Amino acid sequence: MKRRHFLTAAAGLGVASLAGCATSSGSRLSRAPLPGATGDALVQPIGAPMRPIQSSMDRVTRTIVGLRPFRKPGPRLEAVKVGSKDVVHNYGHGGGGVSLSWGVAELAAPLAKGFGRSNIAVLGSGVIGLSTAILLQRSGAQVAIYAKDFPPYTTSNVAGAMWHPVTLFERDQVSDATLAMLDQASRIAFNRFIRYANDPAYGVYWIRQHSFSDKPLDTTYPYTGGDDLYPGLLRNQPGGPFGFAYYDAYYTLMIDPDIYLRALVRDFMNAGGRLVEATFDTESDLEALSQVTIVNCMGLGSGKVFGDESIIPARGQLSFLLPQNDIDYGYAGVAPDRGLLYSFPRKTGILLGGSVDKGDWDLAPRQEEVQRMVAGHAWLASRLG
Ligand SMILES: Cc1cc2nc3c(=O)[nH]c(=O)nc-3n(C[C@H](O)[C@H](O)[C@H](O)COP(=O)(O)OP(=O)(O)OC[C@H]3O[C@@H](n4cnc5c(N)ncnc54)[C@H](O)[C@@H]3O)c2cc1C
């Protein structure tokens, strides 16, 4: 294990300047008026007219790439013995890690506490590690997070991040137990996230969301966690705003990861947490830690360290356009000859997405992909009535 140095509360993470803001439950801010809050405008009814986004190359502000930690049998949540350590694995959340975070954290924390020790190490400082660490703190543990990278330099910062746990497993490889766990985690997570809605300190807000298709949309399974987690849900309706044959629509939460992860780091530090910069190469590196109870939340990094060959990257590239405060909706779908396209509104810009490339480790942005997305989203905008 390579450990470089200890990070302190004020080490570039904005902790000091944010001290005293809301905590997740019963917070002062969440009860106070929210002048200028992200999501301060009321979300329009699902059928209300939608203003077009302005998608053109001269409005692109940045392009980023992230590797979703996709595990073919689905996320791993279990306690195992590794050498002399008791390890709880909590990784492999594919394209739904932000959505699932509080849920899998709430399921993992008691497994770790169950070993009966109050000093606990969490490996990984993305949304899964931070959420798990915070819930362990709330149950009375002293927690140190060990990680190679911290926000804003994690995959979690690249996430969309719309609340809808998807791209989680290969259907022919997932067990019934994992499906049940995902449903349970989704319900817990949604009911925690909803408490943050329109709190500017956390960057969580409501949008209306459309999925479109030229083919009937699959209604074989309920949406992850149950259809009731998607207020206003309409499934496989004819027509829709973009002129495709079918659409789904619902309200959901957007989580702006840059704001949200900064808030989680702040909450963790304010509760006495410790951040330690460290890189693990093999599982025997865990022996160097003083803690005996360890929760592994290293996402894609878990594959190499723990020899799990079922986890692969699912590459995603996002471009951002200049902000438009008249956009209260997101959308996703496959357009003929244009491929997958999705867009979410953020206060800081309009997010353009549309790539899920499994097995692709390349973190360099691709210009032809930027052009495909900008042109594809402009074409969709031109189809709005
Ligand atoms: C383009 C894109 C769009 C997405 N959209 C959504 C969305 O709309 N909704 C949604 O819910 N999810 C979305 N996701 C998925 C989401 O980002 C992931 O599921 C989630 O971030 C996984 O969180 P994590 O904490 O497990 O991993 P990470 O954020 O990758 O954190 C892993 C941590 O482990 C550390 N680590 C890794 N290896 C090592 C090592 N060897 N030694 C020490 N530390 C190590 C890292 O430094 C980091 O701190 C999207 C992802 C991408 C890329």
What is the band of 43 on the pLDDT scale with cuts at 50, 70, 90? Answer: confident
- Residue given tokens 């008691």 in the structure block: 110
Q: Is the pLDDT of residue 6 over 60?
A: no
CA of 96 to the centre of ligand 1 (A): 9
Q: Is the pLDDT of residue 5 over 70?
A: no
How many other CB atoms are there within 10 angstroms of residue 373's CB atom?
Answer: 27
pLDDT of 1: 54
Q: Is the pLDDT of residue 12 over 80?
A: no
Q: Is the pLDDT of residue 240 over 60?
A: yes
Enter the pTM of the model: 0.91
Q: Is the pLDDT of residue 161 over 80?
A: yes
Domain assignments of the chain as residue spans, ordered by start: 2-17+44-382
Q: Is the pLDDT of residue 236 over 90?
A: yes
Could you tell me the two tokens for 135? 């819930």
Task: Answer whether 91 contacts ligand 1 (Cβ < 6 A).
Answer: yes
CA of 214 to the centre of ligand 1 (A): 32
Task: Answer whether 193 contacts ligand 1 (Cβ < 6 A).
Answer: no
pLDDT of 261: 98
pLDDT of 11: 32
* Per-residue pLDDT tens over the stretch 344-364: 999 999 999 999 999 999 999
Radius of gyration for the chain, computed over Cα atoms and rounded to the nearest angstrom: 20
Q: How many helices (H) and strands (E) does the chain have?
A: 8, 16
As a whole number of angstroms, the distance between CA 110 and CA 121 comes to 14
Ligand 1, atom 1, residue with closest C-alpha: 316
Task: Answer whether 148 contacts ligand 1 (Cβ < 6 A).
Answer: yes
Task: Answer whether 88 contacts ligand 1 (Cβ < 6 A).
Answer: no
CA of 328 to the centre of ligand 1 (A): 26
Lowest mean pLDDT segment, chosen from 10-24, 94-108, 247-261, 367-381 = 10-24
As a whole number of angstroms, the distance between CA 290 and CA 310 comes to 29
- For the domain 2-17+44-382, what is the CATH code? 3.30.9.10
CA of 179 to the centre of ligand 1 (A): 20
Of 145, 136, 132, nearest to 189 (Cα)? 132
Task: Answer whether 127 contacts ligand 1 (Cβ < 6 A).
Answer: yes
CA of 155 to the centre of ligand 1 (A): 4
* Per-residue pLDDT tens over the stretch 262-287: 999 999 999 999 999 999 999 999 99
Task: Answer whether 104 contacts ligand 1 (Cβ < 6 A).
Answer: no
Of 303, 311, 316, nearest to 344 (Cα)? 316
Mean pLDDT for the chain overall: 90
* Per-residue pLDDT tens over the stretch 285-306: 999 999 999 999 999 999 999 9
Task: Answer whether 98 contacts ligand 1 (Cβ < 6 A).
Answer: yes
What is the band of 146 on the pLDDT scale with cuts at 50, 70, 90? Answer: very high
Q: Which atom of ligand 1 is nearest to the CA of 353?
A: 1
pLDDT of 349: 96
pLDDT of 132: 98
